[in-house]
Chain A
Amino acid sequence: ELKVEQNPLFLSMQEEKNYTIYCNYSTTSDRLYWYRQDPGKSLESLFVLLSNGAVKQEGRLMASLDTKARLSTLHITAAVHDLSATYFCAVDPYLIQGAQKLVFGQGTRLTINP
């Protein structure tokens, strides 16, 4: 059974600091997705990583994928309050032909304090 584990689960940071969220998964896959969820809201797609070594950046967020280590990271640079949210990684373990059966991590609740 595929397991996707994120750490930390809770992260409280100050503005302007840098930090990294880790996503480890237990089976071979080169399809990894990062989502953001604000309180009471649905999931918003952030990044789609589809190959070993893939790196995507958007503003202060950068995501990378190492399929050999089965590890993805979400790096936050010079955090600002607007980035406070819960971040989920999700892995597609190729269980379905022609579609995705995403397995999500537990989520990392990020709070950025002024």
Chain B
Amino acid sequence: GAGVSQSPSNKVTEKGKDVELRCDPISGHTALYWYRQSLGQGLEFLIYFQGNSAPDKSGLPSDRFSAERTGGSVSTLTIQRTQQEDSAVYLCASSPFGITDTQYFGPGTRLTVL
């Protein structure tokens, strides 16, 4: 069956530009998570959605980062005025409703800010 998909797979942008990263979770999964993986910081939790609601945004690195989810499905992570330190792999995961469910990860979007 279809897993979590993310697009684009690679994104190269210039410093100061805005970027949008997309995540399509597994159908029927109500929970959706965004993580960032970089050499210096390892794997960091950014934000999660339960349905379309994001109760905890404390993991977002700065106010340049925002995320939304529509229809309980697709999510978009937006980074405004990108900086070089935003370069990383952005991973999305989804899980069925349940606090102990396994999270299923997408292939990630590799973001490079020049």
Contact = CB atoms under 8 A, between A and B. Distances in A.
Interface residues of B, number: 25
A100 B55 contact: no
B13 to A, nearest CB: 20
Interface in B29-61: 31, 33, 42-45, 48, 50, 55-56, 59
A88 interface: yes
B103 A100 contact: yes
A21 to B, nearest CB: 16
Nearest to A48: B102
A96 B102 contact: no
B91 to A, nearest CB: 6
Interface residues of A, number: 26
Interface in A6-64: 31, 33, 35, 41-45, 48, 50
Contacts of B56: 95-96, 101
Interface of A: 31, 33, 35, 41-45, 48, 50, 88, 90, 92, 95-107
Interface of B: 31, 33, 42-45, 48, 50, 55-56, 59, 91, 93, 95, 97, 99-108
